[in-house]
């Protein structure tokens, strides 16, 4: 089990400069979850679409509110799709590494502000 943080972001325009900043819009749901390598069939189906999936994360249905990002072990991941789980109360989120530094910076700033 690993500590997982579900997050969502929004790009906002700065009023005085007109620049854009990415900020966290969800409060962030933190839970302990099961992270495993993505299955072979799922991996190859995504690879055909030029998507490299890394992990599947089992999440309680009641915890997931369509967030786009996950923070696991100080690394940002993007939720690509979801699948059914063997347990009807869970879902599997298939994720890939997010390499966009602006999103990562926004998450790190959000975490630092909350001392997480």
Secondary structure of 27-95 in HEC code, one letter for each residue? CCEEEEEEEEECCHHHHHHHHHCCCCCCEEEEEECCCCCCCCEEEECCEEEEEEEEEECCCCCEEEEEE
pLDDT of residue 26: 65
Contact residues for 17 (Cβ-Cβ < 8 A; gap 6+):
none
- Look at residue 95 and tell me whether its pLDDT is greater than 90: yes
Q: Note the pLDDT tens digit of each residue in 3-56.
A: 899 998 888 887 888 788 777 886 678 888 899 999 899 999 999 999 999 999
What number does CATH give the domain 2-113? 2.40.10.270
What residue ranges do the domains of the chain occupy?
Answer: 2-113
Mean of pLDDT values over 58-82: 91
- Look at residue 77 and tell me whether its pLDDT is greater than 80: yes
pLDDT of residue 109: 85
pLDDT mean across residues, the chain = 88
């Amino acid at each position: 089990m690993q500590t997982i943080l579900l997050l969502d972001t929004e790009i906002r325009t700065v009023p005085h400069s007109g620049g854009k900043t990415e900020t966290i819009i969800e409060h962030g749901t933190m839970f302990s979850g099961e992270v495993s390598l993505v299955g072979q069939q799922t991996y190859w189906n995504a690879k055909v679409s030029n998507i490299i999936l890394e992990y599947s994360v089992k999440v309680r249905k009641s915890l997931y509110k369509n967030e786009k990002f996950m923070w696991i072990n100080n690394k940002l991941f993007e939720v690509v799709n979801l699948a059914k789980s063997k347990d009807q109360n869970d879902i599997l989120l298939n994720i890939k590494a997010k390499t966009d530094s602006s999103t990562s910076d926004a998450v790190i700033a959000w975490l630092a502000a909350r001392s997480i």
